[in-house]
Amino acid sequence: MLTIEEFLRLPDSVGERDVRYELVEGELVELQPEMLLHNLGRDDVLITLMKFVKDSGLGSVIGLQWFHLFGNTVRRVDVALMKTGRELPLYKLPEGAPDLAVEVVSPANTPREIDQRISHYFAAGCKRVWVFYPEHREVYIHGLAGVSRRRGGDLLEDAELLPGFSEKVSSLFDQAEHQ
């Protein structure tokens, strides 16, 4: 059982290998290396959300940010939206979950792991979780009221967190499609 302090002192590499971990309820979990499809999908979402949020002044969008969700649980979010008014500390982990967490699923991710991530985000105060499946070119939107699926020409929108944002799901997979 590791503490947050012990987790933060872990080395970034083991021998010749670059290693990343998450702390899940005190247990160390090694993150698998991301493949190109994952990174292209994440970058499409990150760039799209960053531009919209910057232009509309709704907050901050950050990629690959670690969050101290609660207790001894630290997760790295693929893309995170923090609404205006929420302070982001520059030299320590943000406490709690982002307002919107975006996860891009890789073949190495199991359904159980994704479900656990979603549960942890909501337990830490997240309002919405978007789960992108690049291989299937679809998005599952998880909210407190339930789950919905968007694909292809469907619009991805969120009037509460991102008023005015409307993007075709297919456009969020553009880079991955052209590889």
pLDDT of residue 16: 62
pLDDT, one tens digit per residue, over 106-120 is 988 999 999 999 999
Distance CA 122, CA 117 (A): 9
Amino acid at 5: E
Distance CA 111, CA 125 (A): 22
Amino acid at 108: A
H or E element in which residue 6 lies: helix 4-8
Token pair for residue 49?
A: 């959300």
pLDDT, one tens digit per residue, over 146-168 is 999 999 999 999 999 999 999 99
pLDDT, one tens digit per residue, over 29-69 is 988 888 898 899 999 999 999 999 999 999 999 999 999 99
For the cut 80, the answer to whether the pLDDT of residue 18 exceeds it is: no
Q: What burial class does residue 148 get, using C-beta atoms within 10 Å of its C-beta: 0-12 exposed, 13-18 middle, 19+ buried?
A: exposed
> Is residue 160 classed as helix, strand or coil in its secondary structure?
coil
pLDDT, one tens digit per residue, over 58-116 is 999 999 999 999 999 999 999 999 999 988 899 999 999 999 999 999 988 999 999 99
